[in-house]
Amino acid sequence: MDKPIGIIDSGYGGLTVATEMMRQLPKESIYYVGDSKRCPYGPRTVEEVRRFTWEMINHLLEYEVKMLVIACNTATAVVLQEAREKLAIPVVGVIQPGAISAMKVTNNQHIAVIGTSGTIKSNAYPYALEAISENVKVESLACPLFVPLVEQGIVAGEEAEGIVEESLAPIKDGQFDTLILGCTHYPLLKPLIEAYLPSHVNVISSGEETAREVSSVLFHQSLNRKAAEAPTHQFFTTGAAKPFEEFARKRLSLFPAKVESITFEHRLKIER
């Protein structure tokens, strides 16, 4: 199956998933859509998140992607189940891989989750964890300032440190031994988060775990790319192409050859 894998995200965050997929699955082609113009999704209504997410999915379906990765926790919480039911291709979200991995590493069955207000309100992580174990204790905390911070490219320095410390203060003395970064933007703040929390806390990054999950699904469904030629990657953003490219290069050492700025509204008009 030489078709690309599609990734969608509210903005730059899913690039942490894309980076990990390129590292763990170097033969696969990746087509990415980031909705930077309308980011963050956290404070949006469920109906908006649903509509925006389907616009991105429909864009990627035109390229015949063989699998879809919803690399945004808010969108996963709202659309995953529906997308799995409606699409003929496998759909992987970012919530389950993080939850499964947390169950693997926790020793005291006490897990903390941080995410956007939307993800935390959806209770998607407690639900996923409790579906696996009755004895797990989950505490959740919304960190609404993290996404805007990362989208501005501020991932180190005093301002970022201050916001990380202030945001995490309510759970600092918690008894959890595992923290799930329940937002794909957060891995970019991982060094600051790890520095602030006690050193015994395992920090689970959605990006790494989702890439690992994608690898499993490719194998189980015999979808691994077998072509000898190098894979091709294509990035689309609803924002401007240049800052997207700069962000990818500077923050993630990704060198996206092609970044195309797209407008769903425009596309819809043409199609009608």
| 116 HSE (CA, 13 A, CB side) | 25
Q: Return the closest-CA partner of residue 91 out of 118, 117, 121, 54.
A: 54
The answer to whether 195 contacts a copy of itself (rule: CB under 8 A) is no
Element containing residue 195 per DSSP (H, E): helix 190-196
The answer to whether 177 contacts a copy of itself (rule: CB under 8 A) is no
Is 72 a catalytic site residue? yes
Q: Return the closest-CA partner of residue 72 out of 58, 85, 54, 90.
A: 54
Is 39 a catalytic site residue? no
- Smallest distance from a copy of itself to CB 219, Å: 5
Which member of 9, 55, 177, 213 binds a copy of itself (CB under 8 A)?
Answer: 213
Binding residues among 94-133 for a copy of itself as defined by CB under 8 A: 96-97, 100-101, 103-104, 131-133
- How large is the greatest C-alpha to C-alpha distance in the chain, in angstroms? 56
Which residue, 205 or 238, is less far from a copy of itself as judged by CB? 205
The answer to whether 86 contacts a copy of itself (rule: CB under 8 A) is no
Catalytic residue among 15, 21, 72, 259: 72
* Sequence-ordered list of residues with C-beta below 8 angstroms from that of 181, at least 6 positions apart, any chain: 98, 114, 187, 190, 193, 203, 204, 205, 206
- Contact residues: a copy of itself, CB under 8 A: 24-27, 90, 96-97, 100-101, 103-104, 131-135, 208, 211-213, 215-217, 219-220, 224
